[in-house]
C-alpha cells in the first residue's frame, strides 16, 4: 500500500497509542512526514514476507528523552546521514527501512527517511510498541547484533558504534544522546531480509494505521472512539485484548529528565473521588495500579488518553488536571514469551511484581 | 634513533614530569612498552622534518580520568583496533604514529602501537605537555579537525566519531569514555606529514627522553636530580625556564572523579611550617599559589615530585603526608602565543587570573 497524507495522520494517531506513553510525541514526525510526502509523493509500505532473504533492511528511530524532543527540533538530515553511512559500511544500498519501535514518533520516523532515500518501509517493527532502551528490541531478545549502528545529531555530528555486546551499545548510545543535546537519530540492528522475516514484529505498522483510522472514523461518525480503538486493537491480531483501565483526572505528577530518560509517576483520581490509579514510567508507562492493586504490567500497553478527543498523551505531555482515560492492551505475543519477558518484563525495569497478562488482571468483555 | 628499553625507561621518567601531574601514570605504559619491545624489538623514532608531505600521521593516546587508569587495565588491543579502523576509513596504511600529548602515560602510548603496527613514532606531540581536554591540542588551536577519530575500549567496543566541531568531538569522546568504564583509547587529529611539520610540537619526545636520562644519570652519580632536571629542561629548547617552586609536605588533599576527570586541590606546607603552596588540578596541575600569591599558571608546567627520588607524582597518586618538591617549567613557546592561550590559558579553565610567564613570577637563577 501507499502511505499518503491520510494514512500518515492515522499512523500518527495509532502509533501514539502504541507508544504506551513513550516513543516521543508523533506530532513533529507527522509534520516532517507531511512535508516530505508533499515534496516526494507517497511512501510505499511493503509486507514483511515480500522481502528477499538477502535484502538489507535497516531499523531507525530517535534515542533520547522525549522531554527533550519537544523542544529540540531535528535538522531533517539526521536519518539520511546515518543510513548513507551504513550503506558505505556495508558497501551496498539499503533496500528498505523500518521503525525500530512502532510506538510514538518513532513509528513515523522511517517514513521520512524512506521518502528521502526513495526506498519502501517494511510493515513491521522491532518492539511492537515503544520501550525506553535499545536492548529491549526483539532483535536483541532473539540474539541479533545491534551493530554496526550509526548515531547522528542535529549539529551534524555522526558516530559509528561497533560492539559485540548490545547492552554496551545501549549504554554508549545513551551517553552519546545525552552528550549531543539529549536526543539523536539512530540506525541499529541492520538486518538481512531473512532475519527481518524471522524476528521482526510483522504487521505492526499497518496495525497502527488501522488503529488510528478507527479512532478517526469514530470521531467523524460521532461514535465512542475508545470502543472503536479497543475493537481495532483486537481485530489487529497483534493486540488481542484491550479495554479501559481507568477514567479520571490527573491529581499528581512527578517527572524528571535523568540519564537520558523521562522518569516519573502520575496519579489519576476518579471523578467521584472514590478510586485512584497510579502509573510509573520510564519514557513509557510501565505499571498501573488501581487502588493499590496491579492491573497492568510491562510489556502490556498502558496509554493515557484525553477523555474527550481520544488523543494519546505521551508521558512528557502529562499535566496536572488533565481529564483522561487510561486504556490497556495486551502486548504482541512475541513479547510475552519467557525469553522476551527476561528483557522487557517487570523485572527488567526493577519491579518486583511478576508479570501477569493484562486480560487476567481485568474483567473485560472481550475475554 | 631507536627506542630501546633504557630509552623507554627514560621516556617514562621524562613524560611523567612533562605531564604536569596528568596524562596518566606512565608506569603501565612502560610495562606494556617493555613487553612489546621484548617481543618485537626497538621502535624507530623519526624526526618531524623527515616526514613526507603526504604521509598519514596519527596521534594517539588515552582519554579519561587517570584515577580510573590506575585500576582498569587496558586489553592491549585498543590502539591497534583504532588505528586499523582509521586505515580503513582513509583507504591507506598509516605511515607513523605520535603521542597526542607527551605528558604522562600518553607520552608512551604510541610506542606500543608503533611496535604492533611496525611503523615509526614521530619525535613530536600535540600538546608539549598534558592537558585534560582534546580541544587543547595545538592542532585545534591551529584550526585542524580532530575527526575522523576512533575511540576503542578494553571490552572491544569501537566508536568512530565524525564532527566538524572539535569541541563537540571532545564532549562526545568524554561521554563515551565515561560510558565505557572511565577510560578509552583514542586516535584523533589524523594529519598529513605537511600538517604535522607545520603544527606539531617538534622534538618533544626526544626532549622527554633526555629529561628522563638526566634524572636517571644524576641518581646514578649521586647528584641532585632536581638540578639535573631543570638543566635538561632548559637545554631542550622547548622548556627554556625551569626551577623549584616549593619544598614541603602534603597537608591537605581534595580529589574526586567527576565528569570523566580527576578534579581537586592539594596543599603543601614547608617543613618549618612558615610557608604553604596550594595547587588546583583538573587531571593536570593548573595553578600554583605560594602563600596566596600566584607563582605558576597553565600552560606553564607544575609538577609535584617525590623529594627523595625525583619521581613525578601524578595527581591521582597524591597522598596526604607525601614529602615533595614542586618544580615549575615554562611551556613550549607555541603554547604561549595569544591564539594558544585562548584555548590553554587560565581562562580556559575558569580561572580569573591573567596568564603571566612563570619566569616573570619567580626569581630563578636561569633568568
Q: For the segment A216-239, what is each residue's pLDDT rounded down to a tens digit?
A: 999 999 999 999 999 999 999 999
Helix B26-40 crosses helix B5-18 at what angle (to 10 degrees)?
160
Judged by CB atoms closer than 8 Å, whether chains meet at A157 and B155 is answered as no
Residues in chain B: 367
Q: Does domain A241-361 have CATH number 3.30.465.10?
A: no
Q: For the segment B276-317, what is each residue's pLDDT rounded down to a tens digit?
A: 999 999 989 999 999 999 999 999 999 999 999 999 999 989
Judged by CB atoms closer than 8 Å, whether chains meet at B179 and A159 is answered as no
**A2-202 and A241-361 share one fold:** no
Count Cβ atoms below 10 Å from residue B272 Cβ, excluding itself. 7
| pLDDT band of A21, cuts 50, 70, 90 | very high
Share of chain A above pLDDT 70, in %: 98
Q: For the segment B115-164, what is each residue's pLDDT rounded down to a tens digit?
A: 989 999 999 999 999 998 999 999 999 999 999 999 999 999 999 999 99
Q: For the segment A255-310, what is each residue's pLDDT rounded down to a tens digit?
A: 998 877 889 999 999 999 999 999 999 989 999 999 999 999 999 999 999 999 99
Q: For the segment B195-253, what is each residue's pLDDT rounded down to a tens digit?
A: 999 999 999 999 999 999 999 999 999 999 999 999 999 999 999 999 999 999 999 99
Judged by CB atoms closer than 8 Å, whether chains meet at A179 and B158 is answered as no
A75 and chain B: CB distance < 8 Å anywhere? no
Please report the pLDDT score of residue B271 as a whole number: 96
Residues sharing a CB contact under 8 Å with residue A146, sequence separation 6 or more, in sequence order: A134, A135, A137, A139, A140, A166, A169, A170, A188, A189
Helix B26-40 crosses helix B109-117 at what angle (to 10 degrees)?
20
SS3 (DSSP) at B360: helix
Q: For the segment A101-134, what is each residue's pLDDT rounded down to a tens digit?
A: 999 999 999 998 999 899 999 999 999 999 989 9
Burial B27-46 (b: 16+ CB within 10 A, else e): bbbbebbbebbeeeeebbbb
Closest Cα partner for B61 from B18, B29, B36, B93? B29
Judged by CB atoms closer than 8 Å, whether chains meet at A164 and B156 is answered as yes
Which range among A350-364, B51-65, B142-156, B353-367 shows the weakest confidence by mean pLDDT? B353-367
Please report the pLDDT score of residue B13 as a whole number: 95
Judged by CB atoms closer than 8 Å, whether chains meet at A175 and B171 is answered as no
Assign domain B2-202 to a CATH class.
alpha beta
- For residue B105, the 8-state DSSP code is G
**What is the SS3 assignment for chain A?**
CEECHHHHHHHHHHHHHHCCCCCCCHHHHHHHHHHHHHHHCCEEEECHHHCCCCCEEEEEEEEECHHHHCCCCCCCCHHHHHHHHHHHHHCCCCCEEEECCCCHHHHCHHHHHHHHHCCCEECEECCCCCCCCHHHCHHHHCCCCCCCEEEECCCCCEEEEECCCHHHHHHHHHHHHHHCCCEEEEECCCEEHHHHHHHCEECHHHHHHHHHHHHHHHHHHCCCHHHHHHHHHHHHCCCCCEEEEEEEEEEEEEEEEECCEEEEEEEEECCCCCCEEEEEEECEEEEEEECCEEEEECCCEEEEEECCCCCECCHHHCCCCCEEEEEEECCCHHHHCHHHHHHHCHHHHCCCCCCCCHHHHCCCCCC
Tell whether the model's pLDDT for residue B34 goes beyond 60. yes
- What would the grid cell of residue A94 be? 539499503
Please report the pLDDT score of residue B150 as a whole number: 98
Tell whether the model's pLDDT for residue B257 goes beyond 90. no
B179 and chain A: CB distance < 8 Å anywhere? yes
B63 and chain A: CB distance < 8 Å anywhere? no
Judged by CB atoms closer than 8 Å, whether chains meet at B158 and A159 is answered as no
**Are A100 and A61 within 8 A, CB to CB?**
yes
| pLDDT band of A67, cuts 50, 70, 90 | low
**Are A67 and A85 within 8 A, CB to CB?**
no
Tell whether the model's pLDDT for residue A329 goes beyond 80. yes
Q: Which residues of A are less than 8 Å from B161 in CB distance?
A: 157-159
Q: Which residues of B are less than 8 Å from A165 in CB distance?
A: 155-157
**Are A212 and A9 within 8 A, CB to CB?**
yes
pLDDT average, residue stretch B51-61: 97
Q: Which residues of B are less than 8 Å from A171 in CB distance?
A: 179-180
Instruction: Delimit the domains of chain A by residue range.
Output: 2-202, 241-361
Partner residue facing A175 (CB), from B158, B160, B175: B175
B77 and chain A: CB distance < 8 Å anywhere? no
- Interface predicted TM-score (ipTM) of this complex, two decimals: 0.80
Please report the pLDDT score of residue A222 as a whole number: 95
Tell whether the model's pLDDT for residue B366 goes beyond 70. no
Q: Which residues of B are less than 8 Å from A158 in CB distance?
A: 161-163
Please report the pLDDT score of residue B65 as a whole number: 72
- What would the grid cell of residue A308 be? 474527550
Please report the pLDDT score of residue A23 as a whole number: 83
Find where cell 584555548 sits: B343
Tell whether the model's pLDDT for residue B367 goes beyond 50. no
- CA-CA distance, B150 to A159, in Å (whole number)? 9
Q: For the segment A6-15, what is each residue's pLDDT rounded down to a tens digit?
A: 999 999 999 9
Partner residue facing A176 (CB), from B162, B164, B175: B175
SS3 (DSSP) at B285: strand
| pLDDT band of A367, cuts 50, 70, 90 | very low
B159 and chain A: CB distance < 8 Å anywhere? yes
**Main-chain phi, psi angles of A241, to 5 degrees:** -135, 140
B317 and chain A: CB distance < 8 Å anywhere? no
Closest Cα partner for B254 from B275, B280, B285? B280
Q: Which residues of A are less than 8 Å from B176 in CB distance?
A: 172, 175-176, 179
Q: For the segment B69-116, what is each residue's pLDDT rounded down to a tens digit?
A: 667 778 889 999 999 999 999 999 999 999 999 999 999 999 989 998
- What would the grid cell of residue B325 be? 618538591
- CA-CA distance, A12 to B329, in Å (whole number)? 64
Please report the pLDDT score of residue B119 as a whole number: 96
Residue A238: cis peptide before it, omega within 30 degrees of 0? no
Partner residue facing B180 (CB), from A157, A158, A172: A172
Whole-angstrom CA distances from A78 to A253, B96, B136, B163 are: 33, 34, 29, 13
B187 and chain A: CB distance < 8 Å anywhere? no
Q: Which residues of B are less than 8 Å from A163 in CB distance?
A: 155-158
SS3 (DSSP) at B344: helix
List beta partners, residue A255.
A264
Please report the pLDDT score of residue B117 as a whole number: 92
- CA-CA distance, B112 to A73, in Å (whole number)? 44
Partner residue facing A157 (CB), from B156, B163, B179: B163
- CA-CA distance, B231 to B243, in Å (whole number)? 9
Q: How distant is the Cα of B122 from the closest Cα of chain A, in angstroms?
A: 28
Q: Which residues of A are less than 8 Å from B165 in CB distance?
A: 155-157
A89 and chain B: CB distance < 8 Å anywhere? no
Partner residue facing A176 (CB), from B158, B164, B172: B172
Partner residue facing A175 (CB), from B164, B168, B178: B178
Share of chain B above pLDDT 70, in %: 98
| pLDDT band of A48, cuts 50, 70, 90 | very high
Please report the pLDDT score of residue A70 as a whole number: 65
Count Cβ atoms below 10 Å from residue B237 Cβ, excluding itself. 12
Judged by CB atoms closer than 8 Å, whether chains meet at A172 and B161 is answered as no
Q: For the segment B328-358, what is each residue's pLDDT rounded down to a tens digit?
A: 999 999 999 999 999 999 999 999 999 999 9
Please report the pLDDT score of residue B274 as a whole number: 96
Positive or negative: CA dihedral B215, B219, B221, B226: positive
**Main-chain phi, psi angles of A292, to 5 degrees:** 90, -15
Amino acid at each position: 500500500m501507499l502511505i499518503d497524507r491520510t494514512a500518515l495522520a492515522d499512523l500518527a494517531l495509532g502509533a501514539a497509542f502504541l507508544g504506551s506513553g513513550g516513543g516521543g510525541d508523533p506530532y513533529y514526525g507527522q509534520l516532517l512526514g507531511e512535508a516530505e510526502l508533499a515534496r516526494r509523493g507517497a511512501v510505499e509500505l511493503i509486507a514483511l514476507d515480500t522481502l528477499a532473504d538477502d535484502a538489507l533492511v535497516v531499523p531507525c528511530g530517535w534515542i533520547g528523552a522525549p522531554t527533550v524532543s519537544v523542544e529540540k527540533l531535528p535538522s531533517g538530515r539526521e536519518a539520511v546521514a546515518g543510513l548513507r553511512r551504513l550503506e558505505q559500511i556495508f558497501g551496498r544500498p539499503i533496500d528498505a527501512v523500518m521503525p525500530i519501535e512502532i510506538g510514538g514518533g518513532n513509528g513515523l520516523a522511517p517514513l521520512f527517511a524512506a521518502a528521502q532515500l526513495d526506498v519502501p518501509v517494511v510493515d513491521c517493527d522491532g518492539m511492537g510498541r515503544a520501550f525506553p532502551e535499545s536492548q529491549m528490541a526483539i532483535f536483541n531478545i532473539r540474539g541479533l547484533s545491534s551493530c554496526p549502528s550509526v548515531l547522528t545529531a542535529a549539529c551534524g555530528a555522526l558516530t559509528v558504534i561497533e560492539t559485540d555486546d548490545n547492552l554496551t551499545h545501549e549504554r554508549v548510545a545513551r551517553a552519546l544522546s545525552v552528550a549531543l543535546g539529549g536526543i539523536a537519530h539512530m540506525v541499529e540492528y541492520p538486518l538481512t531480509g531473512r532475519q527481518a522475516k524471522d524476528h521482526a514484529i510483522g504487521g505492526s505498522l499497518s496495525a497502527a494505521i488501522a488503529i488510528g483510522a478507527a479512532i478517526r472514523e469514530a470521531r467523524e461518525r460521532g461514535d465512542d472512539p475508545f470502543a472503536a480503538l479497543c475493537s481495532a486493537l483486537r481485530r489487529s491480531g497483534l493486540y488481542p485484548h484491550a479495554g479501559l483501565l481507568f477514567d479520571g483526572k490527573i491529581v499528581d505528577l512527578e517527572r524528571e529528565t535523568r540519564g537520558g530518560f523521562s522518569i516519573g509517576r502520575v496519579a489519576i483520581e476518579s471523578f467521584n473521588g472514590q478510586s485512584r490509579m497510579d502509573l510509573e514510567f520510564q519514557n513509557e508507562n510501565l505499571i498501573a495500579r488501581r487502588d493499590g492493586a496491579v492491573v497492568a504490567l510491562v510489556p502490556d500497553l498502558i496509554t493515557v488518553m484525553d477523555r474527550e478527543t481520544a488523543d494519546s498523551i505521551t508521558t512528557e505531555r502529562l499535566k496536572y488536571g488533565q481529564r483522561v482515560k487510561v486504556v490497556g492492551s495486551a502486548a504482541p505475543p512475541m513479547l510475552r514469551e519467557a525469553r522476551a519477558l527476561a528483557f522487557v518484563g517487570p523485572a527488567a525495569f526493577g519491579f518486583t511484581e511478576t508479570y501477569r497478562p493484562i486480560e487476567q488482571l481485568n474483567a473485560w468483555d472481550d475475554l
